[in-house]
Amino acid sequence: MIVFGTAVTDVGTYDRCAAPGIRRAVEPDSEILAHQSTGSLFRNYNLLLDLAGAHDTLEALVLLHQDAEIVDADFCDKLREVLKDADVAVAGCAGAVGVQNLAWWEGAVTWASFTHRYYEFGGGEFQSLSWSPVATPSIASTGEVESIDGFVMVLSPWAVRELRFDESLGKLHGYDFDFCAQARAAGKKVVTFDARAIHHHSLELISDPETWIEAYIRLAEKWDGRLPNSGGRGTDWRNRALRAEAEAAAAKGQAVSEHLKLRAVELHNERLMASKSWRLTAPLRMLREWLRRLRAKRARA
Q: Are residues 198 and 284 in the same domain?
A: no
Tell me how far apart the alpha carbons of residues 295 and 55 are, in angstroms, rounded to a whole number: 100
Q: Are residues 62 and 166 in the same domain?
A: yes
For range 147-170, the mean pLDDT: 95
Tell me how far apart the alpha carbons of residues 35 and 25 are, in angstroms, rounded to a whole number: 19
Total domains in the fold of the chain: 2
Q: Are residues 89 and 181 in the same domain?
A: yes
For range 80-103, the mean pLDDT: 92
Tell me how far apart the alpha carbons of residues 100 and 81 are, in angstroms, rounded to a whole number: 28
Q: Are residues 124 and 273 in the same domain?
A: no
Q: Are residues 153 and 272 in the same domain?
A: no
Residue 37's domain comprises 2-235
Tell me how far apart the alpha carbons of residues 157 and 164 are, in angstroms, rounded to a whole number: 12
- Given a cut of 60, is residue 232 above it in pLDDT? no
Contact criterion met (CB below 8 Å) for 90 and 153: yes
pLDDT in tens, 58-83: 999 999 999 999 999 999 999 999 99
pLDDT in tens, 235-255: 566 666 655 655 565 556 656
Q: Kindly tell me the burial class for residue 140, based on how many C-beta atoms sit within 10 Å of its own C-beta (0-12, 13-18, 19 or more).
A: middle
Distance from the Cα of residue 66 to its chain's centroid: 15
Q: Which of 189, 218, 235 is the last residue of a domain?
A: 235
Tell me how far apart the alpha carbons of residues 284 and 295 are, in angstroms, rounded to a whole number: 16
pLDDT in tens, 14-42: 999 999 999 999 999 999 999 888 789 99
The CA distances from residue 76 to 1, 142, 193, 195, in Å, are 10, 17, 12, 10
Most confident of 36-40, 272-276, 294-298: 36-40
Helix residue spans in the chain (DSSP H): 11-13, 19-25, 41-53, 75-82, 157-162, 175-185, 209-223, 237-300
For range 133-137, the mean pLDDT: 88
Q: Are residues 75 and 131 in the same domain?
A: yes
Q: Which of 182, 209, 235 is the last residue of a domain?
A: 235
Cross-strand bridge partners of residue 4: 32, 62
The CATH number of the domain holding residue 231 is: 3.90.550.10
Tell me how far apart the alpha carbons of residues 51 and 35 are, in angstroms, rounded to a whole number: 11
Q: Are residues 189 and 274 in the same domain?
A: no
| CB-CB neighbours of 233 under 10 Å | 12
Q: Are residues 128 and 56 in the same domain?
A: yes
